[in-house]
């Protein structure tokens, strides 16, 4: 199915449960997500915002569910900014928007910060990537402290993995000798490295 085609909204009869609306939203996103790689960044954002508006409108009496849909849309638009090679300000803006909406669980925060940090490494924005990785390591350590206070210490191994992913980014940057470099996009669409 193409990126511009979405399932028709089901006819409005009796009031739907908010969980059902959230499932329909997730299904609508799943149907278009692969096709978004074939359209531009602006178009992919427009499609995602259209789906968000359609389903959030149905949740006017359920603000907590509407917020969750907005969070998911924010995360998807951040992904699209990275996939489509958005500028650093575009990517930063999308990450800030997701941050403002809050993360439903720490896993989501770590997942999207890892994607963002990886994107910054790929573009040569080493200082930004390193700062994100360090911040996330601090978050994971906080989570460890919380887990240590629990009787069964569940998910300890899981967060050790996250610690490994972010330490990997730092080691990669420091091992490359480029931790003191950042990139600035030039007018021609390329970038120049500047010692900072």
Average pLDDT of the residues of the chain: 82
Q: What is the pLDDT of residue 27?
A: 94
pLDDT at 111 over 80: yes
Q: What is the pLDDT of residues 128-147, one digit of tens each?
A: 899 999 999 999 999 888 88
Longest dimension (CA), the chain: 62
At residue 185 the predicted structure's pLDDT band, cuts being 50, 70 and 90, is very low
* Contact indicator for 29, 49 with CB cutoff of 8 Å: no
Per domain, the residue ranges of the chain are: 1-86, 105-196
Q: What is the pLDDT of residues 24-68, one digit of tens each?
A: 999 999 999 888 888 988 999 999 999 999 999 999 999 999 999
Question: Coil, helix or strand for 185?
Answer: strand
**Which has the closest alpha carbon to 39: 8, 85, 90, 3?**
3
Give 83: exposed, middle or buried? Use CB within 10 Å, 0-12, 13-18, 19+. middle
* Joined tokens for residue 40: 């531009």
For 146-166, what is the HEC assignment? Answer: HHHCCCCCCCHHHHHHHHHHH
* Contact indicator for 135, 171 with CB cutoff of 8 Å: no
CA distances from 82 to 78, 132, 152 (A): 6, 15, 38
pTM: 0.69
């Amino acid at each position: 199915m193409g990126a511009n085609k979405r399932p028709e909204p089901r006819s409005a009869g009796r009031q739907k449960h908010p969980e059902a609306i959230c499932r329909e939203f997730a299904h609508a996103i799943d149907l278009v997500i692969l096709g978004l790689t074939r359209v531009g960044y602006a178009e992919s954002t427009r499609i995602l915002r259209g789906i968000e508006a359609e389903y959030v409108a149905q949740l006017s009496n359920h603000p907590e569910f509407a917020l969750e849909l907005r969070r998911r849309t924010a995360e998807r638009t951040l992904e699209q900014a990275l996939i489509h090679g958005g500028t650093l300000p575009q990517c930063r803006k999308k990450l800030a928007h997701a941050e403002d909406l809050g993360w439903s669980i720490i896993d989501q925060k770590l997942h999207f910060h890892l994607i963002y940090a990886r994107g910054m490494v790929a573009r040569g924005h080493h200082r930004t990537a390193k700062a994100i990785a360090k911040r996330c390591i601090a978050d994971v350590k906080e989570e460890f402290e919380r887990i240590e206070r629990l009787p069964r210490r569940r998910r300890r191994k899981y967060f050790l993995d996250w610690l490994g992913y972010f330490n990997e980014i730092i080691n990669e940057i420091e091992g490359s000798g480029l931790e003191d470099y950042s990139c600035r996009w030039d007018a021609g669409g390329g970038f120049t490295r500047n010692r900072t």
